[in-house]
Amino acid sequence: MSSRRHFLAAALVGAVGFFSFSSAFAAESATEFAERTSADLVKIIDEGQSTYKADPEKLHEKIGVLLDDVVDFEGIARGVMGKQFYAEASAEQKSSFAKTFRASLVKAYSQALVGFGRMEINVLGAKGPDDSKQTVDMLAKSVEDGTQVSVRYSMAAKKPGDWVVRNMIIEGINLGQTYRSQFASSMSQNGGDMDKVIATWSETEAAK
């Protein structure tokens, strides 16, 4: 994985982390919360780097817990499969892909955090039509080489202050659309064998 992709993945995990505790601070705005918790994110990255080689599963588990708190993996997996393939999939295939999708993300982002190194995040602000839908713009910067990456997160509130991340756009790349295209391409390449696509999803992602 390139250093730039390390940066993008690390930035992605960081913003998800920003909103993992939103329900506990419902009075805060999204911007205030992001600013306050960015320091905590940097600490998590630093700690993960120092212990990853000795115990990689520890960081995988920590990131997994973080993502589970704010990400509807079943809902995202449904969107990645697309309407047609999701309708054709069995209940077992839907469940299997959601689990596989989650596992691949957790592992990739854990590795990205370690590989990227130190970073700073500048929260530029939140905007949206109402308190139930907001987007947050951020600028992530590598402490080591000064690389900057623009990040935008689309969020929805299941109830006041209880945010979930619905989609992410990093450097203009819509991740939801990207994963959906990759799933469709894999289905085509594997002759519509959904079980094979699901079984090899992690390998497919690692090759990107």
pLDDT band per the 50, 70, 90 thresholds, residue 11:
low
Distance, in Å, from the CA atom of 24 to the CA atom of 5, rounded to the nearest integer, reads 32
Evaluate the CA torsion angle 72, 176, 187, 113 in order and state its sign: negative
pLDDT the model gives residue 22: 45
| Highest-confidence segment of 38-42, 178-182, 204-208 | 178-182
pTM value is: 0.74
- Could you tell me which residue, 58 or 17, shows the higher pLDDT? 58
Is residue 202 within 8 Å of 104, Cβ to Cβ?
yes
Evaluate the CA torsion angle 41, 44, 50, 51 in order and state its sign: negative
Mean pLDDT of the 4-18 span: 50
The amino acid occupying position 80 is V
pLDDT the model gives residue 201: 92
- Which of 2, 12, 3, 1 is closest to 171 using CA atoms? 12
Q: Output the average pLDDT for the chain.
A: 77
Distance, in Å, from the CA atom of 133 to the CA atom of 135, rounded to the nearest integer, reads 7
Distance, in Å, from the CA atom of 142 to the CA atom of 179, rounded to the nearest integer, reads 25
- Could you tell me which residue, 172 or 162, shows the higher pLDDT? 172
- Poorest-pLDDT segment among 18-22, 81-85, 101-105, 126-130: 18-22
Percentage with pLDDT > 90 across the chain: 23
- Poorest-pLDDT segment among 96-100, 109-113, 125-129: 109-113
